[in-house]
Amino acid sequence: MTKNKKLLCTGVGGAIVTALCCFTPVLVVLLGAVGLSALVGWLDYGLFPALFTFMGVTAYTLYLRAGRVGPPPKFAIVAAVIALSALIIWLDFRFALPLALAAAAAVAGYGFYLHRRRCPDAACVRVTPDESGVKS
């Protein structure tokens, strides 16, 4: 399995598991069963930032798989994860589902955009550190 495929599986799988824990009582039941129900009130403060982080990992992996089309999105992804996490906590989780769905739609839209801009392998010129012309 390639590194990008592992990263994509981590991003998508983590987002799915985190979404299940956020929007269903799965984690509440599990914590209650092991006697840690006092933590239930604090779950959202960790789960939603984790959800947005996994979506960011997915978006970055889509960028890598598309052949690095356009400028690197690292800063934009980190800024979006921080902004969405802060916004959802600031709004006291009132709009949690719409914000999470909007973030998922944004990642899907970004993936579609990258897929449309992907260049064929023969036409892409990728510069690796060895070919950059810099002598050490």
For the record, the structure tokens of 130 come out as 């060895």
| Residue 4: per-residue pLDDT | 83
Residue 39 inside a domain? The answer is yes
Mean pLDDT of the chain: 83
| Residue 124: per-residue pLDDT | 53
pTM for this one? Answer: 0.77
pLDDT for residue 55 is more than 90: yes
User: Percent of the chain, pLDDT > 70?
Assistant: 86
Quote the number of domains for the chain: 1
pLDDT for residue 1 is more than 70: no
pLDDT for residue 134 is more than 60: no
Angle subtended by helix axes 43-65 and 74-90, to nearest 10:
160
Of the candidates 29, 44, 38, the residue with the CA atom closest to the CA atom of residue 96: 44
* Contact indicator for 60, 3 with CB cutoff of 8 Å: no
Mean pLDDT of the region 32-56: 90
Residue 126 inside a domain? The answer is no
Residue 53 inside a domain? The answer is yes
- What's the pLDDT band for 129 if we cut at 50, 70, 90? very low
Host domain of residue 49? 3-118
| Residue 68: per-residue pLDDT | 78
> Could you give phi then psi for residue 121, rounded to 5 degrees?
-55, -35
pLDDT for residue 135 is more than 50: no
